[in-house]
Amino acid sequence: MTALIIFGSTFVLVFALGFQSLNVNNGHYRAAFVTSFAISGANLVLFKTVPEAGFYEITAYLTSGPFAIVTSMWAHRKWVRE
């Protein structure tokens, strides 16, 4: 269960960081403001769960990022009009 929580929170964190970067680079102030809450929340979950990580938790942490950043880039293009 901890591995799933770590995967999910890391996915949200990396997704939000990618989305945030695109928002900032394109001047989307409100979206950047809101995205900051997702970044903070995901970080809090990680701070609570990662210190006790074993093999599966570390694997979840390392594999979620690549999926999250690509999904974030795709979602930003679909959801935010430039």
DSSP one-letter code for 81: -
Q: Are 19 and 35 in contact (CB under 8 A)?
A: yes
Whole-model pTM over 0.85: yes
Supply the pLDDT for residue 10.
97
Residues 6+ apart with CB under 8 A from 68: 10, 11, 12, 13, 14, 15, 18
Q: Are 53 and 2 in contact (CB under 8 A)?
A: yes
Supply the pLDDT for residue 9.
96
- List the helix and strand counts (H, then E) for the chain: 3, 0
Kindly give the confidence (pLDDT) of every residue in the chain, 82 residues in length, as a single tens digit, with 9 standing for 90 and above.
899 999 999 999 999 999 999 999 999 999 999 999 999 999 999 999 988 889 999 999 999 999 999 999 999 999 987 6
